[in-house]
Amino acid sequence: MRIAEFDTLGLPVVFFRLIMNKNPNVAVVGATGAVGVEMVKTLEKRGFPVGTLTLLASARSLGKKLAFRGQDVTIKELTKDSFAGIDIALFSAGGSISSEFAPIAVKAGCVVVDNSSAFRMDDSVPLVVPEVNAADVKLHKGIIANPNCTTAITLMALYPLHQAFGVKRIFASSYQAVSGTGAKAIEELRQQVTQISSGQMVSKEVYPYQIAFNVLPQVDSFLPSGYTKEEMKMENEGRKIMHHPGFKASVTCVRVPVYRAHSVAVSAEFEKPVSVEVARAVLSKAPGLDLVDNPDKREYPMPLFAAERYNCQVGRIRKDCAMDNGLCFWVAGDQLLKGAALNAVQIAEELIR
């Protein structure tokens, strides 16, 4: 059911309150990128009821093919006319592409789930982690934003604890996989490992420094405050997703030589007294989250084992010895899945539920 409304600029906006088509036609924009490829795989693995699948990318990918349900689907060039007949479009092609083409898709009657940062902080656009605020999907006016990958993975563990204890603030350090930078960064890490192991000169293109066997204490560009844009997303996006305007987060984001799973060390301060036993009980029941917390047996979350899994993992749970009502934990999750493609498909599932 398409409903016409007007946005804050007085421009007509076409959006869906309800997708009537039980088998919606789906487009993936940026289909040949690391996240786009995972979107296609996730649609198939989760049995999303796709009517027809349209794969869109830049002209240089024209004619390439991706497999979907046993058949090859040919990549088409993204143009302003690409969205006729499309019900849901999953965007993962960068902020500039989203800013240009998402409004065009909406005007064509399409609901956009956007993985870029273009619309995340727009007050008229829901920012959604389905395990946290699925009801916000109903508020969309044609565009729904996927959060930053590190924010999404962190909130999978933090939000259930917030419900139990009431989070005030966190101090966190992220250990972010190169997949967050894209397919070229994954290949750069592979290439550098090979070059170093064979005694060759290390080449670099994506990152300003060698990433293999190194860590880079910079993710995204620096702000005048000294924080990076990536670091501030945890606070800004966390407030919006949790509907918690007083939430505070001091974060240091670090790029590490891991292929596709992010990890985050969190020290959280809560309104209520915390209990490790209650925290474990809460986290063990949280949707989309596996409790991996047995230090005596050296069992704790690791990116090696979180990679290619839908669920995030949480462990190393303990009282924070430096804060009242404080709790420390370590959470890991696949950046390409819960940090991007899986979360987008889950939002699409909410649209047709």
For position 173, which CATH number holds? 3.30.360.10
Confidence check: pLDDT of 144 > 50: yes
Confidence check: pLDDT of 27 > 60: yes
How many structural domains are present in the chain? 2
Pairwise CA distance, residues 210 & 132, whole Å: 37
Kindly name the residue from 110, 149, 253, 312 that is annotated as catalytic: 149
Pairwise CA distance, residues 154 & 176, whole Å: 12
Kindly name the residue from 110, 140, 253, 262 that is annotated as catalytic: 262
Catalytic residue list contains 149:
yes
Query: Among 9-23, 38-52, 132-146, 168-182, whose mean pLDDT is lowest?
Result: 9-23
Pairwise CA distance, residues 17 & 32, whole Å: 30
Confidence check: pLDDT of 311 > 80: yes
Residue 275 confidence (pLDDT):
95
- Domain termination residue (choose one: 118, 143, 168): 118
pLDDT band at 9; cut points 50, 70, 90: very low
Average pLDDT over residues 148-153: 98
Residue 14 confidence (pLDDT):
44
Looking up tokens 């490829």 gives 37
User: What's 35's domain CATH number?
Assistant: 3.40.50.720
**157 and 282 inside one domain:** yes
Residue 212 confidence (pLDDT):
98
314 vs 63, 153, 286, 335, 344, CA distance in Å? 42, 10, 11, 15, 22
Amino acid at 230: E
Confidence check: pLDDT of 242 > 50: yes
Average pLDDT over residues 77-98: 97
Pairwise CA distance, residues 315 & 264, whole Å: 11
Residue 21 confidence (pLDDT):
67
Confidence check: pLDDT of 12 > 50: no
Residue 15 confidence (pLDDT):
42
Confidence check: pLDDT of 16 > 90: no
- Domain termination residue (choose one: 100, 118, 136): 118
351 part of a folded domain:
no
- In total, the chain counts a number of residues equal to 353
86 part of a folded domain:
yes
342 part of a folded domain:
no
**157 and 296 inside one domain:** yes
**157 and 102 inside one domain:** no
Residue 18 confidence (pLDDT):
43
- Domain termination residue (choose one: 96, 118, 140): 118
Average pLDDT over residues 63-76: 96
Average pLDDT over residues 135-144: 97
Residue 26 confidence (pLDDT):
98
Average pLDDT over residues 123-128: 98
Given a contact cutoff of 8 angstroms between Cβ atoms, the answer to whether 225 and 148 are in contact is no
Pairwise CA distance, residues 216 & 230, whole Å: 13
Confidence check: pLDDT of 326 > 80: yes
Residue 22 confidence (pLDDT):
80
**172 and 299 inside one domain:** yes
111 part of a folded domain:
yes
Confidence check: pLDDT of 139 > 90: yes
Confidence check: pLDDT of 268 > 70: yes
pLDDT band at 20; cut points 50, 70, 90: low
Confidence check: pLDDT of 284 > 90: yes
Name residues whose C-beta falls within 8 Å of residue 172's C-beta, 6 or more positions apart in sequence.
154, 234, 249, 250, 251, 252, 264, 265, 266, 267
Average pLDDT over residues 310-321: 98
Handedness of CA 86, 87, 91, 96 (dihedral sign): positive
Confidence check: pLDDT of 339 > 60: yes
172 part of a folded domain:
yes
Average pLDDT over residues 84-98: 97
**166 and 278 inside one domain:** yes
Q: What percent of the chain has pLDDT over 90?
A: 93
Pairwise CA distance, residues 89 & 81, whole Å: 13
**87 and 171 inside one domain:** no
Domain that holds residue 105: 2-118
- Bridge partners of residue 72, in order along the sequence: 67
At 172-217, the pLDDT tens digits run 999 999 999 999 999 999 999 999 999 999 999 999 999 999 999 9
Residue 292 confidence (pLDDT):
98
344 part of a folded domain:
no
**162 and 112 inside one domain:** no
131 part of a folded domain:
no
124 part of a folded domain:
no
Q: What is the DSSP letter of 221?
A: P
Burial 179-212 (b: 16+ CB within 10 A, else e): bbbbbebbebbebbeeeeeeeeebeeeebeebbb
**91 and 161 inside one domain:** no
**292 and 205 inside one domain:** yes
Q: What is the DSSP letter of 229?
A: H
**200 and 306 inside one domain:** yes
**66 and 181 inside one domain:** no
Catalytic residue list contains 110:
no
**38 and 181 inside one domain:** no
